[in-house]
Amino acid sequence: MIPVKIEEKLFQNRYRVDAGRPHINIINQETCRVECKTQECTVCCPAGCYTAEGNGQVVLITDGCLECGTCRIICSTHRNVDWEYPRGGYGILFKFG
Amino acid sequence: MDEKFDAIVIGAGPSGNAAAYTMAKAGLKVLQIERGEYPGSKNVQGAILYSKALEEIIPDFREDAPLERHLIEQQMWVLDDESYIGTTYRSAEFNQEPYNRYTIIRAQFDKWFSKRVQEAGALLVCETTVTNLLMDGNRVIGVQTDRENGAIYADVVVLADGVNSLLAKKAGFHAELEPKDVALAVKEIHFLPEETIQSRFNIGEGEGVVIEMAGKITQGMMGTGFLYTNKDSLTIGVGCMLSDFKQQKITPYELLEKMKAHPAIKPLLAGGEMKEYTAHLIPEGGYKAMPKLFGEGWMIVGDAGMFVNAVHREGSNLAMTTGRYAAEAVIDLKEKKLPMTAANLARYQGRLEDSFVMKDMKKYKNMPEIFHKNNHFFTTYPELLNRAAHTMLTVDGVDKKSKEREIRKSFKQRRSLFGLMGDAFKMWRAFE
């Protein structure tokens, strides 16, 4: 597999980050750490917003989010993602789409 | 905002714009709410525009719409790791006006469409997210936005809020989407000089090419890749069912990167400057996964209603058509001074059923299931076809009859005779 730096891709995009007000939240950290063995969000998020930590914890940073909805729908066993759109005007701002 | 509107349209993509335009043009008092900085800033598509659906709404759209290239050639590639085998259809007829299909860049196109909507008399409010529908019992009476004093009322609300369809879900109109009902697509736009694109794809000024791709680029997942020529850029992307991403734990941007490195694709992109990376879900669940489309004071249009024909790569045309039909239902009721009840809004469903929209949705209703259960269509066959071509085209002293025997044997080995017959039957059933 070719090594890909997602940061380099996202760097091309335009965002207006709503600092301190993430529009997506993990509902219960313990569910990810203890119950979820697969943690697909850490692999399938197209913006790499979810990171699997060594201790089983999942860390979410929404700054690069493309607002696609993958993480919410892929978490179909535990439904552990609280997913809203950002406040009006914030988030990804596609130049081309 | 204390005033009441005839209709509120949520979203300024193709379906929302079609709905708002049609209602405003008929003299209705329409409010359209868009969460992006400008219409298009949250929207993603390949993108190919089919003229017909837009012509029905804005017949003279070609005069000032931002269109990239009209398509004169369609290629279909089936790839394995080293090679591709494919078909090309190119016709001078596609070079005769009025053109049938165009590549577009959605951020620009949606902005243009929205300008027309506003000229028709609709009021557009951007940078405003609708957080909830306002209900009176089971009747939708307006929307709650994230603005101060953000409640706004209307006789009917048209939900054109896209694939995630959060608002209808929150209101309990339908359940959460399942991973098997959506495809995840990622794409990039690469800029190149106009002349380079024209010489590379053997096309003239304003002419364009579409390449659709299937095979090993999706790494065994159900999906396709695509490459479109814009005026001075190329769009390259790949989309696969989310259930397959989930099961196989594949990272979308790594999938895209590997596809871009394919020996047949890489030279087409050479020298380009990547300027945006996007991801989007496509509602590909088909007819069986469609939600309820209308109720007391509300209708769902476009992606939110699962209006995508995955086989024929149609979506934005269905979005515009459903937006228009929903609008026509409202106009009809307003003229007759009838209330926006579910019973009356059923005429929206009626229009859909009578048109190509539902006829096509129904025709392909078994398609998603057949492909979900038979992923060898995306793995084994592409490889077999490419090997067969390689065998026949390699001049190495082996006689042709032996080569044919070898190809037949390879097919039977990989799929068995019953498997091959079964696959042919399934394909016939799926497209019947």
Q: What is the mean pLDDT of residues B134-148?
A: 97
- Run of H or E residues at B253: helix B252-260
Residue B280 has pLDDT above 90, yes or no: yes
Task: Tell how strand B151-159 and strand B298-300 pair up.
Answer: parallel
DSSP E strand stretches across B122-219: 123-125, 130-136, 139-145, 151-159, 182-191, 207-215
DSSP state of A58: E
What are the Cα distances from residue A28, in Å, to A35, A75, A86?
A: 11, 12, 20
Q: Report the candidate in B68, B77, B26, B22 with the shortest Cα–Cα distance to residue B235.
A: B68
pTM: 0.95
Q: What CATH number should be reported for the domain holding residue A39?
A: 3.30.70.20
Size of interface A-B (CB pairs under 8 A): 147
pLDDT for residue A1: 61
Domains within chain B, CATH numbers bracketed:
4-67+104-174+291-354 (3.50.50.60), 180-283 (3.30.9.90), 369-431 (no CATH)
Residues of A within an 8 Å Cβ radius of B: 1-2, 4, 6, 9-10, 12-13, 16, 38, 40, 43-44, 46-48, 66-70, 72-74, 76, 79, 83-89, 91-97
Closest partner CB to A73 (pick from B106, B146, B242) = B242
In this structure, is residue A80 part of a structural domain? yes
Compare CB distances from A46 to B126, B131, B184 and report the shortest one's residue.
Answer: B184
- pLDDT-derived band at B123, boundaries 50, 70, 90: very high
What gap in Å lies between CA B394 and CA B375, rounded to an integer? 29
A1 inside domain = no
Q: How far is residue B313's CA from residue B316's CA, in Å, rounded to a whole number?
A: 9
A97/B44 touch (CB, cutoff 8 Å), yes or no? yes
* β-pairing verdict for B151-159 and B30-33: unpaired
**Contact call for residues B120 and B35 (beta carbons, < 8 A):** no
What's the pLDDT at B2?
61
Q: Which of B276, B303, B316 to mutate to test the interface with A (most CBs of A within 10 A)?
A: B276
CA pair distance B245, B184, nearest whole angstrom: 8
Nearest CA in chain B to A7: B277
Q: Give yes or no for residue B150 having a pLDDT over 70.
A: yes
Residue B262 C-alpha, separation from nearest chain A C-alpha, in angstroms: 12
User: What 3 state SS string does B202-241 have?
Assistant: CCCCCEEEEEEEEEHHHCCCCEEEEEEECCCEEEEEEEEE
Cβ-contact B105, B47 below 8 angstroms: yes
Tokens 């002419």 correspond to: B207
Q: What average pLDDT does range B58-81 have in this prediction? A: 96
**Looking at this predicted complex, what is its ipTM?**
0.97
State the Rg of chain A over Cα.
14
B161 pLDDT more than 80: yes
Is the pLDDT assigned to residue B1 strictly greater than 60?
A: no
Residue A79 lies inside a defined structural domain of this protein: yes
Query: How does DSSP classify residue B176?
Result: P
Mutant choice from B108, B247, B277 vs A, greatest count of A C-beta within 10 A: B277
3-state secondary structure of B129: coil
Considering chain B, what is the average pLDDT of its residues? 95
- Token pair 């951007």: residue: B126
* Element at B243 (helix H, strand E): helix B242-248
B263, with CB counted inside 10 A (0-12, 13-18, 19+), is exposed
What pLDDT is attached to residue A2?
A: 66
Beta-carbon separation of B126 and A79 below 8 A: no
How far, in whole angstroms, is CA B133 from its chain's centroid? Answer: 26
Selected residue of B178, B278, B282, B316 to mutate for chain A interface (largest A Cβ count, 10 A): B278
Mean of the pLDDT values across residues B191-212?
98
Domain contains A41: yes
**Residue B356 corresponds to which tokens in the numbers above?**
């190509």
- Domain assignment present for residue A81? The answer is yes
**Total domain count for chain A?**
1
Task: Identify all chain B residues contacting A13, using CB atoms and an 8 Å cutoff.
Answer: 276-278
Parallel, antiparallel, or unpaired for β B233-241 and B182-191?
A: antiparallel
Distance from CA of A19 to the nearest CA of B (A): 16
Residue A97: inside a domain: no
Parent domain of A44: 6-92
* Tokens 């990804």 found at: A92
